[in-house]
Amino acid sequence: FCKEKKIPCLGISDTSNLCGALEFAENISKVGTQPIIGTQIYFRFEDTTGLLPLIALNENGYKRIIELSSRSYLENDALSDPHLDVKDLLIDTEGVSLLSGTIQGLFGKLFEKGRLDEISKLYRSLSSKFNDNFYLEIQRHGDQNEIAFEKFNLEQSLKIQIPIIATNEVYYLTPDMHEAHDALTCIGSKTYVNEKNRIKYSNQHYFKSNEEMSKLFSDLPEALENNFNLPFKCNFRPQFSKPVLPNISSEKGGSADEILKKDSLDGLKEKFLKVFKVEENNLKTDDKFLKYKDRLDHELKIIIEMKYPSYFLIVS
């Protein structure tokens, strides 16, 4: 799609993780599209939990959003969904851009509860920490309460001097995929298409072209300008790396290579004693043992050449 449409840059924002980031970056980079790496994490403010999108501007920012994503799982009990406290956003913001999210996100939920003063205070705190890397998202999908939320955000932008950005939440590529996505939403929430009281998105969550976005936000040129300029702030993409394994060694047992050789040979001797009833003193002259030892040495040679002894020792 990026190749066909000559897309200059494209962002990804998986929910509560960055599992798709590496594959996404690798594939779209091959066709000349700049990947922008992000995630959306659940944050809690008092009794309300909702998503907020974070974008990595550089390597430090990438490490920071990985850390936040991991902590959202590790610092909760097993019964809670992964989430963090909104205060965690105010620690170490270097290299990270924060967006205010959708009407279904944290601030959208607070807005629907009428907690406008609290949103305003949070906006001020986040703006003072992130500076011009905190944006108020303006979205026009035609979803419920979106117009009222937009009006509120535009007022806050003028009042607190927070930049606005035009965004479109993409769930599928083309408009004709809306029906299939609607059915998928029902499957995810264990409900039915003909149910009235269920989550229902408009048919505007497809990948919109430059022309469509320009027309949709023609009255807010500064929001489009910030949308256009954001990729110039991003200068990082994840790269493939070799696995980093801990080195298992000891002064007593030697290096991981030596420990693996010794453990493997001891294991082979033990099997011959139990299965073939060959005494250890007779192993050196036993044809069957010598045959198995040759095979073991061959396997160990490959494992050591690939620098995997520590991995085998961890598993054992």
pLDDT at res. 4? 94
How high is the pLDDT of residue 252? 72
- pLDDT category at 80 given cuts 50, 70, 90 is confident
Ordered by start, the domain boundaries in the chain are 7-169+206-231, 254-313
The pLDDT-based confidence of 218 (bands split at 50, 70, 90) is very high
- pLDDT on residue 197: 86
Among the residue ranges 59-68, 70-79, 165-174, 289-298, the one predicted with the least confidence is: 70-79
Given the candidates 3.40.30.10, 1.10.1660.10, 3.20.20.140, 3.40.50.2300, the CATH classification of the domain at 7-169+206-231 is 3.20.20.140
The two three-digit tokens of residue 4, written as one number: 């066909």
Query: Residue 123 above 80 pLDDT?
Result: yes
Question: Is the pLDDT score of 11 beyond 90?
Answer: yes
Task: Return the pLDDT at 250.
Answer: 72
Query: Is the pLDDT reported for residue 63 higher than 90?
Result: yes
Q: Tell me how far apart the alpha carbons of residues 217 and 91 are, in angstroms, rounded to a whole number.
A: 33
In order of 110, 176, 269, 300, the CA distances from 286 in angstroms are 77, 72, 12, 21
Is residue 295 classed exposed, middle or buried when 0-12, 13-18 and 19+ CB atoms within 10 A define those classes?
Answer: exposed
Give the predicted TM-score (pTM) of the model: 0.77
Nearest to 53 by CA among 9, 108, 92, 1: 108
DSSP state of 123: H
Helices 256-271 and 287-305 sit at what angle, rounded to 10 degrees? 150
Whether residue 78 has pLDDT greater than 80:
no
Q: What is the pLDDT of residues 193-209, one digit of tens each?
A: 999 888 888 999 999 99
Q: What is the DSSP string of 218-252?
A: TT-HHHHHHHHHHHHH----------------BTT
